[in-house]
């Protein structure tokens, strides 16, 4: 009798295990089928959506090249509005260039391009200019995956022109900015050894200057000071060259006008090129 009871219990356990396994399998299969049903549908992304995604997920950049057949030499400028600013007609900014040059070829990045082209006359010189304002404003949460398009460019020379738009508070501290800036630079040093130049902000800031000095020491980069330009000569400000008009009356002096004009851009390019001239081999 006891043997029969034990046998029945064992049979019931086996049946329960089989039934439970079947139910789990059925449930998982049902979920799997639902997943397949959802993801088997073709996803179509329109050009407009793609454009918005690019602006959200990746830094916008512009490329220039002299299209020569010689050895390639690539320059990358990572900056903010001083390096590259799109159209913003409501404030009186009516062309694409570094703010506030009167035309693209007069901004410091394109002036450097021309200077390097003269130094390396037989080489194919190209330059990529990217506005990384997003890093300045959100360095604590900045996603470094978004700069893959800049890293894959594999530049020989990188100019970091950052800091003007950085604001510090209890969360975004000077120490955090320093660490994140180092991380940003090191992203470009994993698989290559480019010449790296960091500039101090054009808008003078002792605190930011000291931070960027530490960054260049940590990353073994070159440092170019720009903060002395407006301090020594206010003619470096665009407000002394042009009357910028827009919907906001304060944009003449407080916005576009405090960016470097053509005169300021020439001086910025010259300051940076002094270091380039000493470090880039012309042979």
CATH of the domain at 224: 3.40.50.1110
Please state whether the predicted TM-score (pTM) of the whole model is above 0.85. Answer: no
Q: Residue 166: how many CA atoms within 13 Å on its side-chain side?
A: 32
Segment 50-103, tens digit of pLDDT: 444 444 445 778 888 988 888 999 999 999 999 999 888 887 788 899 999 999
142 and 205 part of one domain? yes
Share of the chain above pLDDT 70, in %: 75
CB–CB of 177/166 below 8 Å?
Answer: yes
Q: In the structure encoding, which two tokens stand for residue 246, read together?
A: 């827009």
Q: In what order do the strands lie in the sheet with 195-199?
A: 61-65, 124-131, 72-79, 157-160, 195-199, 222-224
24-38, 102-116, 150-164, 250-264: least confident range: 24-38
Report strand pairing: 72-79 vs 124-131. parallel
Give the residue with greater pLDDT, 12 vs 206: 206
What pLDDT shows up at residue 57?
A: 47
Q: What is the DSSP letter of 9?
A: H
Q: Is a pLDDT exceeding 90 seen at residue 38?
A: no
Mean pLDDT, the chain, rounded, equals: 83
* Closest C-alpha to 159, from 84, 259, 262, 69: 84
27 and 91 part of one domain? no
Q: In the structure encoding, which two tokens stand for residue 234, read together?
A: 């206010």
| Reported confidence tier of residue 125, pLDDT bands at 50, 70, 90 | very high
55 and 148 part of one domain? yes
What pLDDT shows up at residue 135?
A: 96
96 and 127 part of one domain? yes
Q: What is the DSSP letter of 120?
A: S
85 and 63 part of one domain? yes
122 and 255 part of one domain? yes
32 and 53 part of one domain? no
Q: Which residues of 63-93 are buried (b: 16+ CB within 10 A; e: fewer)?
A: ebebebeeeebbbbbbbbbbbbbeebeebbb
d(CA 21, CA 3): 27
37 and 73 part of one domain? no
- If one counts the domains in the chain, the total is 2
Give the residue with greater pLDDT, 245 vs 109: 109
Segment 151-191, tens digit of pLDDT: 999 999 999 999 999 999 999 999 999 999 999 999 999 98
23 and 74 part of one domain? no
- 173's CB contacts (< 8 A; 6+ apart) are none
108 and 11 part of one domain? no
CB–CB of 82/108 below 8 Å?
Answer: yes
* Partners of 77 in beta bridges: 129, 159
Distances, alpha carbon 176 to alpha carbons 17, 127, 137, 179, in Å: 56, 30, 13, 5
d(CA 110, CA 163): 20
Q: In the structure encoding, which two tokens stand for residue 247, read together?
A: 């919907």
Give the torsion through C-alpha atoms of 247, 252, 258, 261, to 10 deg: 110
What pLDDT shows up at residue 11?
A: 65
Distances, alpha carbon 38 to alpha carbons 28, 31, 79, 132, in Å: 15, 11, 42, 36
| Region 233-250 average pLDDT | 72
* Domain hosting residue 183, numbered range: 47-279
21 and 87 part of one domain? no
31 and 121 part of one domain? no
d(CA 93, CA 158): 27
Share of the chain above pLDDT 90, in %: 63
| Region 195-215 average pLDDT | 97
Q: Is a pLDDT exceeding 70 seen at residue 109?
A: yes
């Amino acid at each position: 009798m006891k043997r029969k009871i034990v046998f029945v219990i064992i049979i019931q356990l086996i049946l329960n295990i089989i039934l439970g396994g079947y139910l789990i399998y059925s449930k998982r299969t049902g979920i799997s089928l639902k997943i397949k049903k959802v993801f088997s549908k073709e996803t179509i992304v329109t050009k407009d959506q793609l454009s918005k995604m690019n602006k959200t997920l990746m830094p916008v950049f512009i490329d220039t090249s002299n299209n020569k057949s010689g050895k390639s030499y690539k320059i990358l400028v990572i900056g903010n509005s001083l390096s590259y600013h799109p159209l913003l007609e409501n404030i009186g900014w009516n062309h694409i260039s570094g703010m506030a040059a009167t035309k693209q070829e007069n901004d410091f990045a394109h002036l450097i391009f021309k200077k390097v082209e003269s130094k390396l006359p037989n080489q194919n010189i190209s330059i990529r200019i990217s506005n990384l304002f997003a890093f300045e404003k959100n360095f604590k949460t900045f996603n470094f995956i978004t700069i893959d398009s800049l890293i894959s460019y594999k530049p020989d020379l990188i100019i970091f022109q950052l800091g003007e738009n950085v604001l510090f508070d209890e969360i975004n501290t000077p120490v955090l900015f320093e660490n994140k800036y180092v991380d940003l630079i090191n992203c470009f040093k994993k698989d290559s050894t480019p010449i790296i130049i960091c500039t101090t902000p054009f808008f003078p800031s002792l605190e930011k200057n000291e931070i960027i000095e530490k960054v260049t020491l940590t990353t073994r980069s070159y440092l170019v000071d720009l903060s002395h330009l407006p301090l020594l000569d206010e003619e470096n400000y665009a407000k002394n060259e042009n009357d910028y008009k827009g919907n906001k009356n304060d944009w003449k002096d407080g916005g576009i006008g405090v960016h470097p004009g053509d005169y300021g851009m020439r001086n910025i390019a010259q300051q940076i090129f002094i270091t380039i001239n000493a470090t880039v081999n012309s042979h």
